[in-house]
Amino acid sequence: MAANKSSRLGVVFLLGLPLLVLACFFPCSSCHCDVSVNKNTGDHDGEAGAASGGIKGMFVFGSSLVDNGNNNFLPDSLAKADYFPYGIDFPIGPSGRFTNGKNVIDLLGDHLKLPSFVPAFSDPKTKGTKILHGVNFASGASGILDDTGSLAGHVINLNQQIRNFEEVTLPELEAERGRCTTSQSLDDYLFVVGTGGNDYSFNYFLTTSTRNVTLETFTANLTASLSTQLKKLHSLGARKFVLMSINPLGCSPVVRMGRPTHNGCMQKMNRAAHLFNTHLKSLVDGMRAEMPGSALVFVNSYKIIRDIIKNPISKGFKDASTTCCEVASINEGGNGILCKKGGQVCGNRSSLVFFDGLHPTEAVNVQIATKAFASSLKTEVYPTNIERMTTRNM
């Protein structure tokens, strides 16, 4: 991937565009970037029309819950979903999405009326006009911390995802749009960040290096790191942020298997997720002062999924505890999370909460995306929903 990244970056400078790119290293008040803003509407003239609410696309960062297939292209990664039964309900079959059909990103794209699925950064075909409606940088098993996910082999941590955006996609986007990519010209993109769960599941609760660190200290350091990463994206032009909470980790089948639970869930894991989400929600208020011109929405997928698990029938589900696909146990050479390749799969996928040992079904993703986009409950979206954020200044 590194070789691919460097070669793609080099294309920007070698195909007759060096003056445009070099100009973008200087303030746009002193360069001749082709940024034309309609003073009456605030829209940018001379571009293809944006989708719902003026949103042209999404740049996505995070882990498997929002990964559109980046790990497919990592030869040494053990965290892949590019085989059946993943994608059994997806238009093109297995694609690297960790669910049976669409993930939350695909469904948000539907709500925003984006013309196509957001492509994976690692796919060699993700270049040229294909990046105009956004790029997905997320990587299954990755986390906020650089060492999270190392047990899964090669994954792309959040810092590297942001570097991929800065060093590869941003110059390519500038070339395609024929202008400097400034804070104004990225106003019509959502920056979706969905990460953090693996930093607990595959780091804090799993490694020996954190044994003497309290949960509160680990969480404070984790959210401080995320705050720095969000400010980095802001410095690169991001203005509209969607921050996804951590799901109820203790309620997933892989955690509940053979362990004592309370009300069907492992409370130690859920407490960690709830603590992180409390810090994340606080960032929404605190970061706006530190990131001028920004708008942030916190999506409480923890509550949305927890409400389904507590009373599945009322939410249209029948089973909130078992997996839809056949999961290979550790004794069978699996990890207790991913579906067995070519294994059995349930027929009533829309009535189950979990597709594999960790990831929700498309039916759950539909509820998360729908509420993220249009819910009026501040316990589900804070301080407002995505639709309102994208149609007015907050």
**The three-state (H, E, C) secondary structure of 73-137, written as one string:** HCCCECCCCCCCCCCCCCCCCCCCCCCCCCCHHHHHHHHCCCCCCCCECCCCCCCHHHHCCEEEC
CB 174 within 8 A of CB 20: yes
> What pLDDT, on the 0 to 100 scale, is given for residue 19?
32
CB 265 within 8 A of CB 251: yes
Residue 322 has pLDDT above 80, yes or no: yes
The pLDDT-based confidence of 21 (bands split at 50, 70, 90) is very low
Question: Is position 359 annotated as part of the catalytic site?
Answer: yes
Q: Which of 188, 245, 356, 375 is catalytic?
A: 356
Residue 38 has pLDDT above 80, yes or no: no
Residue 207 to residue 254: CA distance in whole angstroms:
18
The pLDDT tens digits of the residues spanning 56-110 come to 999 999 999 999 999 999 999 999 999 999 999 999 999 999 999 999 999 999 9
Residue 331 has pLDDT above 90, yes or no: no
Q: Which residues contact 188 (CB under 8 A, 6 or more apart)?
A: 44, 50, 54, 55, 56, 57
Residue 3 has pLDDT above 90, yes or no: no
Residue 121 to residue 73: CA distance in whole angstroms:
10
Average pLDDT, the chain: 87
CB count within 10 Å of CB 335 equals: 17
The pLDDT-based confidence of 330 (bands split at 50, 70, 90) is confident
Closest CA to 145 of 212, 219, 60: 219
CB count within 10 Å of CB 89 equals: 18
Q: How much is the average pLDDT of 226-233?
A: 98
Q: Which of 63, 64, 122, 142 is catalytic?
A: 64
Residue 20 to residue 31: CA distance in whole angstroms:
9
pTM: 0.86
Amino acid identity, position 213: V
Amino acid identity, position 203: N
> What pLDDT, on the 0 to 100 scale, is given for residue 328?
87
Q: Are strands 352-354 and 319-323 parallel, antiparallel or unpaired?
A: parallel
The pLDDT-based confidence of 393 (bands split at 50, 70, 90) is low
Question: Is position 44 annotated as part of the catalytic site?
Answer: no
The torsion of the CA quartet 190, 191, 197, 198, rounded to 10 degrees, works out to: 130
Q: Which residues contact 156 (CB under 8 A, 6 or more apart)?
A: 70, 74, 122, 137, 139, 142, 164
> What pLDDT, on the 0 to 100 scale, is given for residue 264?
84
Residue 13 has pLDDT above 70, yes or no: no
The pLDDT tens digits of the residues spanning 364-377 come to 999 999 999 999 99
Residue 40 has pLDDT above 50, yes or no: no
Q: Which of 95, 245, 359, 375 is catalytic?
A: 359
163-169-171 Cα angle (round to 5): 100
> What pLDDT, on the 0 to 100 scale, is given for residue 112?
98
Cis peptide bond N-terminal to 124, omega within 30: no
The torsion of the CA quartet 297, 230, 163, 12, rounded to 10 degrees, works out to: 70
Q: How much is the average pLDDT of 187-205?
A: 97
Residue 273 has pLDDT above 80, yes or no: yes
> What pLDDT, on the 0 to 100 scale, is given for residue 185?
73
Question: Is position 52 annotated as part of the catalytic site?
Answer: no
CA–CA distance from 147 to each of 32, 150, 244, 245 (Å)? 42, 6, 21, 21
Amino acid identity, position 155: V
Residue 178 to residue 180: CA distance in whole angstroms:
7
CB 157 within 8 A of CB 76: no
Residue 175 to residue 20: CA distance in whole angstroms:
7
Angle of the 362-374 helix axis to the 104-111 helix axis, nearest 10: 40
Task: Report which of residues 195 and 33 the model is more confident about.
Answer: 195
CB 349 within 8 A of CB 361: yes
